[in-house]
Amino acid sequence: MSLDEVTTSLASAGVESYWVDYRACRVICYMRNGDVFILEVDPPGKSIPYEFSNMCIQAAVNGLQRGELIFPDFTRDIQAAGCVGYAVWILGKVVTYHGRKGEQHVDHMPGFLMP
């Protein structure tokens, strides 16, 4: 399943945005009706470095969008690039990746169509 297909499925289920927090090992889903759901996720396999690489984040995003990476590989790659979490803004079609020192990488979801 592609990133756009996953996002479309979540939007169809009423998810407006979600935050993936690798340090707290959870995903917080914000629903259009105001409900909030918290899901536990596995901790990172390795310590997330303090250095944040926009270039490596973009390479992982591109690989996922092209279908060259599956989601576990994408997760591993962005964590290795210093990403401690990311916010997906489905309504705004934007993903913001965050580093330990407040760094951000912003990516737009051009192929995603709201259901």
* CATH code (residue 51): 3.30.1810.10
Distance in angstroms (rounded) separating the CA atoms of residues 105 and 115: 26
The model's pLDDT over 46-105, given as tens digits with 9 standing for 90+, comes to 899 999 999 999 999 999 888 899 889 999 999 999 999 999 999 888 999 999 999 999
Cβ contact 111:30 at 8 Å:
no
The structural domain count of the chain equals 1
Contacts of 62 (CB under 8 A, 6+ apart): none
For residue 15, what pLDDT is reported?
A: 96
- Within a domain: 76: yes
**What is the residue-averaged pLDDT of the chain?**
91
| Residue 22 DSSP SS3 | coil
Looking at residue 47, the DSSP 8-state letter turns out to be: P
The pLDDT of residue 91? 87
Domain of 29 in residue numbering reads as: 3-107
- Max CA separation in the chain (angstroms): 38
Question: What does the alpha-carbon distance between residue 7 and residue 23 come to, in Å, rounded to a whole number?
Answer: 23
pLDDT category of residue 2 using cuts at 50, 70 and 90: low
> At 89, which amino acid appears?
W
pLDDT band at 110 (very low <50, low <70, confident <90, very high): low
